[in-house]
Amino acid sequence: MVAIREMQITDVEETSRVLRETMLNSWERFEKGYYPRKALEFDINHNSPEVLKQRLADPQNFNFVNEENNSIVATALGKIIGESGLASLGWIGVHPSYQRRGIGKALMQRVVEHCKSRGCHKIILYTMPVLIHAINLYLTCGFVPEAYLRKEWWRVDFIKMSLWLED
């Protein structure tokens, strides 16, 4: 069984490390030649321990981690947009050593539960067409492609995917 919990202030260093290692691995395996290295570096810096501490201070943010053997191995970060009923999943990642074990799906289920409990009617996320494993996870969890965004960020194509939540 996968145990997902809310990230704590004591988790930020390790969560940042896992994010960095996961992003670098994904870039090397799938995104290199598609997503600029400068964009990857921006993403890594945007998930520093200092930024994660700031995220924890904002009650609109949700920050979940999976811990195995006393180590953070996965995280999901997002935000509920005020009282609009819209939630945005900004990042979900499982350390490469722990992928293909159902952790990503468990994180997604926790995000959905949280967003439902906060009265959200929709969750959105953005992904790149080269991230086939991620897209398959999102489809399995009920997300559907809503828009193809040509040359969106960093002049790279993205896909906006959405999940409408039942009332």
Report d(CA 110, CA 116) in Å as an integer: 10
Domains of the chain, start order? 4-164 (3.40.630.30)
Q: pLDDT (tens digit, 9 = 90+) per residue, 96-112?
A: 999 989 999 999 999 99
Assess contact for 137 and 105: CB atoms under 8 A. Answer: yes
Check residue 160 and give its pLDDT: 98
Helices (H) and strands (E) in the chain, counts: 5, 7
Report d(CA 66, CA 5) in Å as an integer: 6
Q: For the chain, list residues with pLDDT below 70.
A: 1, 167
